[in-house]
């Protein structure tokens, strides 16, 4: 029996990974991992040419498999809807190779009703109605922690409209839901707050499709909500970190995804919100709340730009050190990265920029102005700069040698778009420090031999 899906090879299944991109296949066959993702190189090494093989032969893979996962891209169209042409084309190809009962599973993030459409397409291409089922099995993994998110999920959602397909999907995930995977000596280590064993939630296919869109929209809404609250904190001189603690400890709200910053980015939230908005409209509901979530997200970058102006007055000719280009820490992905959008805006304003990112520099080079400098450490980025900007929440940016940083900068100004530091600590180290939703702090000054507390700048 063969299964065909991402990390399920670590659960003991045989997996054939099919792609039509030869360069990607060749890289994987030789053990190259084309993306920065923790634990993926080890797992690939463990299973390559054993449990996991690569192929461009879709017919063979379908014939050899009982479960077929569709994990193709669903990019946004100009109207913001999900472009389902890759899903349709792969469904058509699968239909020609069905040679016995198959479960065809949507893994790509797709709008509600896609499973119905996939079924129609396969039937139109002459597959017998009882030779297959279409199910939805949405993915909740985050880039950077994708492997642990997959192996230690909060829940596994199986959207299956027949008992037969639900049973195949339950078998696939059995090593997780019966806890046997976690007993293994070679199991990938558990992250904090792992739910072991995870809950399996069986729903209709339509409900599962909605669960995926609604989950991403809710998380994005949480981020925009706290960013809006952060703006009010800035106006009244409150501290958003304290507000987060106060509301996040309410177990009905929870502390996660309440970090204010320069807005969300990535290949999922922006695209999925637009797609959810579009599908809701098609179904007759104007989901205006999502417009506001997107508007606040956009505004958050403009507010940050204003903060840079407040700190530096004019921008033309200013030299800025930038820490972080990826859309978040732990990944080399720059798709819809708020950091990249901000750097582009600052370059347009005539700033000179030296940027450092632990993983995303190569990808950034392709999209950023060639006048930009890419450097090899945070201290090089700070060297001779009028200010240092923190744009991505990489862990290493939260543990910088502050005295060394201070010496490198031409002016000790740090504008932190990710709230990685305590304003009083920064002031104590001699920085003028701006962050999100907290008063800006000025260096401690000595008056008649006595050190005065950090002076706070109310409006930033």
**Residues classed as catalytic:** 268
Site string for ligand UDX, 192-221 (x = CB under 6 A): ------------------------x--x--
Q: How far is the CB of 144 from ligand UDX (least distance, A)?
A: 7
Neighbours of 417 (CB within 10 A): 29
Q: Is 223 in the site for ligand UDX (CB under 6 A)?
A: yes
Q: Is 137 in the site for ligand UDX (CB under 6 A)?
A: no
Q: Is 142 in the site for ligand UDX (CB under 6 A)?
A: yes
Q: Is 225 in the site for ligand UDX (CB under 6 A)?
A: no
Q: Is 166 in the site for ligand UDX (CB under 6 A)?
A: no
Q: Is 243 in the site for ligand UDX (CB under 6 A)?
A: no
Q: Nearer to ligand UDX by C-beta: 62 or 147?
A: 147
Q: Is 358 in the site for ligand UDX (CB under 6 A)?
A: no
Q: Nearer to ligand UDX by C-beta: 263 or 423?
A: 263
- Which residues from 381-420 bind ligand UDX, rule CB under 6 A? 393
Q: Nearer to ligand UDX by C-beta: 135 or 244?
A: 244
Q: How far is the CB of 393 from ligand UDX (least distance, A)?
A: 6
Sole binder of ligand UDX in the list 62, 156, 168, 268 (CB under 6 A): 268
Using the contact rule CB under 6 A, the part of the chain among 54-62, 201-209, 261-269, 375-383 near ligand UDX is: 261-269
Q: Is 265 in the site for ligand UDX (CB under 6 A)?
A: yes
Q: Is 270 in the site for ligand UDX (CB under 6 A)?
A: no
Q: Nearer to ligand UDX by C-beta: 138 or 175?
A: 138
Sole binder of ligand UDX in the list 39, 117, 257, 411 (CB under 6 A): 257
Q: Nearer to ligand UDX by C-beta: 62 or 72?
A: 72
Using the contact rule CB under 6 A, the part of the chain among 119-127, 200-208, 262-270, 442-450 near ligand UDX is: 262-270
Q: Nearer to ligand UDX by C-beta: 367 or 451?
A: 367
d(CA 250, CA 254): 6
d(CA 320, CA 189): 39
Q: How far is the CB of 147 from ligand UDX (least distance, A)?
A: 12
Sole binder of ligand UDX in the list 150, 327, 356, 434 (CB under 6 A): 327
Binding region for ligand UDX (CB under 6 A): 139-143, 216, 219, 223, 257-259, 261, 264-266, 268-269, 327-328, 393
């Amino acid at each position: 029996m063969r299964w065909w899906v991402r990390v399920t090879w670590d659960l003991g299944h045989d997996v054939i990974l099919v792609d039509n991109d030869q360069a990607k296949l060749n890289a994987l066959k030789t053990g190259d991992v084309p993306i920065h993702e923790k634990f993926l190189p080890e797992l690939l090494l463990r299973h390559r040419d054993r449990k996991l093989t690569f192929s461009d032969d879709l017919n063979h893979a379908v014939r050899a498999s009982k479960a077929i996962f569709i994990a193709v891209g669903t990019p946004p169209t100009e109207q913001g809807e999900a472009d389902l042409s890759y899903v349709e084309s792969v469904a058509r190809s699968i239909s020609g190779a069905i040679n016995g009962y198959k479960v065809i599973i949507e893994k790509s993030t797709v709008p509600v009703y896609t499973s119905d459409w996939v079924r129609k397409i396969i039937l139109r291409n002459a597959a017998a109605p009882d030779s297959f089922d279409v199910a939805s099995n949405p993915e909740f993994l985050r880039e950077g922690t994708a492997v642990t998110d997959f192996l230690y999920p909060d829940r596994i959602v199986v959207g299956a409209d027949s008992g037969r397909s639900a049973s195949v999907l339950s078998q696939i995930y059995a090593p997780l839901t019966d806890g046997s995977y976690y007993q293994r000596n070679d199991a990938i280590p558990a992250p904090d707050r792992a739910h072991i064993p995870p809950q399996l939630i069986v729903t209709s296919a339509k409900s599962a499709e909605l669960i995926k869109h609604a989950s991403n929209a809710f998380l994005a809404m949480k981020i925009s909500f706290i960013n809006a609250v952060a703006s009010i904190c800035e106006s009244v001189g409150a501290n958003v970190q304290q507000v987060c603690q106060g509301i996040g400890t309410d177990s009905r709200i929870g502390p996660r995804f309440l970090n204010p910053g320069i807005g969300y980015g990535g290949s999922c939230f922006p695209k999925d919100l637009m797609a959810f908005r579009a599908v809701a409209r098609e179904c007759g509901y104007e989901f205006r709340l999502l417009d506001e979530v997107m508007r606040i997200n956009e505004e958050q970058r403009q507010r940050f730009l204003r903060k840079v102006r407040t700190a530096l007055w004019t921008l033309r000719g200013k030299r800025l050190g930038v820490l972080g280009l990826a859309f978040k820490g732990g990944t080399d992905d720059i798709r819809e990265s708020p950091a990249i959008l901000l750097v582009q805006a600052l370059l347009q304003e005539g700033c000179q920029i030296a940027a450092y990112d632990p993983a995303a520099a190569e990808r950034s080079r392709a999209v950023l102005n060639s006048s930009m400098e890419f450097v090899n450490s945070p201290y090089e980025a700070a060297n001779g700069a009028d200010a240092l900007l923190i744009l991505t929440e990489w862990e290493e940016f939260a543990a910088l040698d502050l005295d060394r940083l201070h010496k490198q900068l031409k002016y000790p100004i740090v504008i932190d778009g990710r709230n990685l530091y305590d304003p009083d600590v920064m002031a104590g180290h001699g920085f003028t420090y701006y962050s999100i939703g907290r008063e800006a702090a000025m260096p401690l000054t000595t008056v008649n031999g006595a050190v005065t507390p950090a002076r706070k700048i109310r409006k930033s």
